[in-house]
Copies of this chain bind each other. A is one copy, B any other.
């Protein structure tokens, strides 16, 4: 049996993930049956589940990548770029997350796997960044970064719902109101006075 290089292995894995993403987006999580996954990926179930043992593993890997990408945008380009990136996401793909919301609450093993996949390292870096911004007077310092993160998490989830429902929340209004909610008092007052 011919050996394949690590590079080839990585390529095949990517191929499986890209097809699975299309399949989930097209049919929803429940609708992405093994037969449809085979068709969309172009490989047999044996080949697919060699890389990812279950459909849940496929989804969790794709969600982990989304998290990594969104957090990387935040760390590199800031909150505004993050908001814009979420609003530009494929509505069909965002809908797949909504398919799994109920399961997150009612299936403890899925919930545990989901929580374990959270990108702790990146989240710590974002919290550290927020602390720096608080010290520099760029971010309100009367709340913990974790509390500010909870507020933003609600807004991100709400944006996902609206996009998946086919609405386009007004991005400039969102950015202005999020900015005003998070700006420290002094900077906020200065900004308005000089306007």
Chain A residues within CB distance 8 Å of chain B:
28, 91-92, 95, 98, 101-102, 104-106, 111, 140, 143, 147-148, 150-151, 153-162, 164-166, 169-170, 173-174, 176-178, 180-182, 185, 188-189, 192
Contacts and interface: CB of A to CB of B under 8 A. Distances in A.
A102 B111 contact: no
B166 A150 contact: no
Nearest to A106: B166
Given A154-B169, A158-B161, A185-B189, 9 more contacts: A28-B102, A104-B166, A150-B169, A150-B170, A150-B173, A151-B174, A151-B177, A154-B174, A177-B181
Contacts of A173: 143, 147, 150-151
Contacts of A160: 161
Nearest to A143: B173
State the oligomeric state as a number of copies. 2
Given A95-B101, A102-B28, A147 B170 contact: yes
Contacts of A98: 98, 101-102, 161
Contacts of A185: 188-189, 192
A143 B22 CA distance: 39
Nearest to A108: B166
Given A158-B158, A185-B192, A165 B105 contact: yes
